[in-house]
Structure 1
Amino acid sequence: MKKVILFIGFLITLSSFAQTKDSSTSYSFSITQAIDFAMKNQKDVKNAIIDESLALEKVHETRAIGLPQINSSFDVKDFIEIPTTLLPAEFVGGPPGSFIPVKFGTQYNGTASLEGSQLLFNAEYFLGLKASKVYRELSARATERTKIETAATVTKAYYTVLISQERMKLMDANIARVKKVMEDTKVLLNNGLVEKLDLDRLTVTYNNLLVEQEKIQRLLDLGTHLLKFQMGMNINTALTLTDKLEGVKLDIVNVASTDKFDYAKRVEYNLFETQYRMAKLDLKRQQRSYLPTALAYGSLSGNAYRNTFSIFSMGYGWYPTALIGGTIRMPIFTGLQRNAKNQQAKLSLLKAENNMDFIKKSIDLELASSVTTLQNASLSLDNQKKNIAIAEDVVRVTKLKYEQGVGSNMEMITAETALKEAQTNYFNALFDAIVAKTDFDKATGNFK
């Protein structure tokens, strides 16, 4: 019992050490480094790579069907009751038409054999081999799509954290500015130059800003955890983002530049195109299933016959048998099964053609939608930049007037409220623009 308790204690200590070690790890990542980390650690990407390896092994499995097949076997029989054979009685002088029971053979029989076969021709096999290679390509396309989706998700999560950090900086500046005005107002109140109501209004504004600061901090923590999750990183790992929002490029898109779009740039199109090629190969395979199958074979075996259990003794003889041969199988009638499979393959090909047409139309719609969304987001972001500049200037002028005694307390509070609203609108517009740019890059096949 003591050993069990000590072992459990050891496991707990080891687990705690591993968790502490992981928690002490820290990273500083740009957006490119964050995506690279996700490509190596994110669960969906890792599983997609495993699926790609499975597809490769499927190719090897299919190819192996056409390689020589060699098997060996060893069989031992103990005839507790030796089989009886009936012989005509006239062999030993008996009356014609009668039989006598005779037992032939030994109680113990052993057989050791080595058999081999080689496929010479099978149309379905060769087409199946081509299909397995296309299947591997399909798996590679699926991996590429998973990587693109993961990169897009990490990008959005990364910039969400950057935006929250920038909001926190501006909120800290707002709080510091209002706190300074509030402290100055206390001095004026003590000197009888303002009413207590003025100080109370500023206090309410200050407290509201503190509440907003806590909300932003919670969103920042949540966004950071989400980013780590999307990257496949332990949430206890320290992560610092090195990119800045100033480096984000949100160019206005020229709609005309997307008129002649190359569908092959989209991994989704390539996926459906690969599925279409697989459907064509499957139809060919079914259409050629009526062709013959040819194979060669050979075997070498030895038989041992004993009345005592001495099968493995080398002192007794083994009687060899060797042969080679060939087989040609030609399907003639399969109960209309072959026809049904052929029709299924034709319908699958028709379905693949429909999917090809559908994905083209979907890409066209997604492309047009992403262009419009990005243009609107860019326009909104430009307007919000102007609004925040105006709001900051209003706060500056209002604060100056208030300090000089020609402005009111209400003007100051109104200006601060307008600035906070402008900042919120700006960051919302910035996030929408980043998401729109990411979606546009995906739609045009430029997101890698």
Structure 2
Amino acid sequence: MKYQLKKIYPLFFLLLFVTRINAQESLGGYRLEKCIDYALKGNNVIQQHNSEIGESEYKRKEQQSQLLPQVSINSQYDRYIEIPSTILPGEIIGQPGEKISVQAGTKNVLDLSARLEQVIYDPSLFQGIKIARSNVELQRLRKSLTEEEVIYNVSHVFYEVMSSEEELRVVDTISLKQEELFQIIRQKVSEGASRPIDLNRIQVNINNLKLRKKELINVIFQQKNYLKTLIGMPIEDLFEINYTSSELIEIADIFPSVTGYNYIGLDILEKQKDIIGIQIKQEKRKYLPVLSGLIAGGYQFQSDKFQITKDPWASSVVVGLRLRFPIFDGFAKRNKIKQLRFQQQNIDFQIREKQLELDANQRNAINQLQTSYESINEQKNNLLLAEDNYNKTNLLYQEGLIDITDVFNTESTLFNSKISYIKELINYKKSHIDLLKSQGRLRNNIKAVIK
């Protein structure tokens, strides 16, 4: 019997999940890096940004097209039911003081013309092109910020799934030991060496573990579906995560100090401020004259009978310049400029607020990383103590020196210690992600986290 108990209760390893992780590496599935790559290509919000970038590119081209010659061809046909009259002075026909009504023209008039107009100088248009170009850059920055957020969210949810799966494996291991213990205690009860109440208490433990397993399976199911949504994968597709031992248990005791940050959200605010600055220049340029050149020509046919012949066609060609000089618009441009200056001021406030927020986030992330590292070491020590107590308690129980209750208590402590240790490891990885995000370095340094 002593040999059987020793066989059933082997020494729990410090990291129960490592053997399973190493075995899992050959099973395929989605590693964190693969999930992130999938998300950067399939996330719906990122795809929307791609569409917005394409739209802004064509808006820029639309704005630039106004610098090219504008060519148009026009045609017009008029059929006069009654030819309009023109009033002429009577002096031209020897009737001074009289007004003579004379019908002039023909019943059919056909006009064909072509017109080419080229902007020579329009300072407002030039600023508009700069705004369109800056809007393309702004859309690209917004896409980069969304990618940063997607990487952050995917990483956090991935680690949540990892934590739940590791807890589930601990539950399975403890359940297996409980089932084996149940069989041994039942044999001891039949031999009169143990009490039936001990058997009942083990059964309660087994039932509680089964309930916890069902809860974890449901949680993992929901977490995976959420992760699928983040990366843009159809919900009905099969999906399993895969990770190596280094992704979970490797930690470093080197912590960065508070440094600067290169947060894309700040770049977006700066770009918005630049665009408003260009808009202000554009409104000021509207006070300046606009010069354009014109070339136009056409043919006109007039006849009382609509019978197109070689005659009577008349041609015309005109070449000229057009100068438009704005004088007064009711202070519309001035009021627009003041609005833009207030918008610029508001962005300055947002930039300062964001800088304070980023500084606080970075300091909090560094502190959390240090705290998590210290907690990992404490949880590791607790796990070693719980494991040692559990082994010693088993030996005492085998010798009949203690009650089964003590075995249950130490087993529960060992179970909780393993779960706490796993969760603290996950918290450390999350803290690392938080730190990189607060510094604006997550997009380019994600491999340092998932190595």
TM interval, short-chain normalised:
0.7 to 0.9
Amino acid at match of 1:166: E
Matched residues, percent identical? Answer: 22
Query: 1:213: which partner in 2?
Result: 213
- Choose 111-120 or 276-285, whichever is displaced more: 276-285
Kindly state the Cα deviation for residue 435 of structure 1 after the two structures are TM-superposed.
2.4
Q: Which of residues 265, 283, 300 in structure 2 aligns to 1:303?
A: 300
In structure 2, relative to structure 1, the CA distance for the partners of 1:300 and 1:194 (3 Å cut) is same
In structure 2, relative to structure 1, the CA distance for the partners of 1:394 and 1:110 (3 Å cut) is farther
Rounded Cα–Cα distance in structure 2 between residues aligned with 1:218 and 1:276: 48
Kindly state the Cα deviation for residue 406 of structure 1 after the two structures are TM-superposed.
3.0
Query: 1:289: which partner in 2?
Result: 286
Is 1:269–1:356's contact at 8 Å kept on the other side of the alignment? yes
In structure 2, relative to structure 1, the CA distance for the partners of 1:245 and 1:318 (3 Å cut) is farther
Kindly state the Cα deviation for residue 203 of structure 1 after the two structures are TM-superposed.
0.6
Matched, 1:58 2:53: no
- Secondary structure of the 2:286 match is coil
Query: 1:134: which partner in 2?
Result: 134
Is 1:300–1:322's contact at 8 Å kept on the other side of the alignment? yes
- Secondary structure of the 1:422 match is helix
Amino acid at match of 1:305: Q
Ranges in structure 2 where 5+ consecutive residues have no aligned partner = 1-26, 444-451
Matched, 1:80 2:81: yes
What CA deviation, in whole Å up to 9, does each residue of 1:42-100 have, x standing for no partner? 1001011111122211211111121111111222222223212223345445x432223
Kindly state the Cα deviation for residue 374 of structure 1 after the two structures are TM-superposed.
2.1
Amino acid at match of 1:187: Q
Query: 2:158: which partner in 1?
Result: 158
Kindly state the Cα deviation for residue 290 of structure 1 after the two structures are TM-superposed.
1.9
What CA deviation, in whole Å up to 9, does each residue of 1:104-129 have, x standing for no partner? 22222221221111111122222222
What CA RMSD, in Å, does the superposition of the two structures yield over aligned residues? 2.1
Query: 2:352: which partner in 1?
Result: 357
Rounded Cα–Cα distance in structure 2 between residues aligned with 1:308 and 1:390: 114
**Map 1:98-113 → 2, pairs under 5 A:** 98-113=98-113
**Map 1:398-413 → 2, pairs under 5 A:** 398-413=393-408
Amino acid at match of 1:178: Q
Query: 1:381: which partner in 2?
Result: 376
Query: 2:238: which partner in 1?
Result: 238
In structure 2, relative to structure 1, the CA distance for the partners of 1:84 and 1:200 (3 Å cut) is same
Amino acid at match of 2:80: F
What CA deviation, in whole Å up to 9, does each residue of 1:263-293 have, x standing for no partner? 4x21111111212222222222233332221
Aligned length, in residue pairs: 416
Query: 2:337: which partner in 1?
Result: 342
Rounded Cα–Cα distance in structure 1 between residues aligned with 2:306 and 2:396: 116
Kindly state the Cα deviation for residue 131 of structure 1 after the two structures are TM-superposed.
2.2
Query: 1:184: which partner in 2?
Result: 184
Kindly state the Cα deviation for residue 173 of structure 1 after the two structures are TM-superposed.
0.4
Q: Which of residues 268, 271, 276 in structure 2 aligns to 1:274?
A: 271
Rounded Cα–Cα distance in structure 2 between residues aligned with 1:372 and 1:47: 36
What CA deviation, in whole Å up to 9, does each residue of 1:279-331 have, x standing for no partner? 22222223333222111111111112233444xx4655432211111122222
Is 1:69–1:117's contact at 8 Å kept on the other side of the alignment? yes
Query: 1:47: which partner in 2?
Result: 48
Amino acid at match of 2:190: N
Rounded Cα–Cα distance in structure 1 between residues aligned with 2:236 and 2:309: 69
Rounded Cα–Cα distance in structure 1 between residues aligned with 2:175 and 2:440: 44
Is 2:123–2:282's contact at 8 Å kept on the other side of the alignment? yes
What CA deviation, in whole Å up to 9, does each residue of 1:393-447 have, x standing for no partner? 3333323333343332101111222223223333433333232221111011220
Is 2:28–2:242's contact at 8 Å kept on the other side of the alignment? no
Is 1:295–1:327's contact at 8 Å kept on the other side of the alignment? yes
- Choose 100-109 or 265-274, whichever is displaced more: 100-109
TM-score (norm 1): 0.87
Rounded Cα–Cα distance in structure 1 between residues aligned with 2:63 and 2:28: 44
Amino acid at match of 2:65: A
Rounded Cα–Cα distance in structure 2 between residues aligned with 1:404 and 1:179: 21
Amino acid at match of 1:346: R
Query: 1:9: which partner in 2?
Result: none
- Secondary structure of the 1:241 match is coil
What CA deviation, in whole Å up to 9, does each residue of 1:345-384 have, x standing for no partner? 3223322333332222221111112212222222223322
Query: 1:247: which partner in 2?
Result: 247
- Secondary structure of the 1:28 match is coil
Matched, 1:415 2:416: no
Ranges in structure 1 where 5+ consecutive residues have no aligned partner = 1-25
Rounded Cα–Cα distance in structure 2 between residues aligned with 1:36 and 1:394: 45
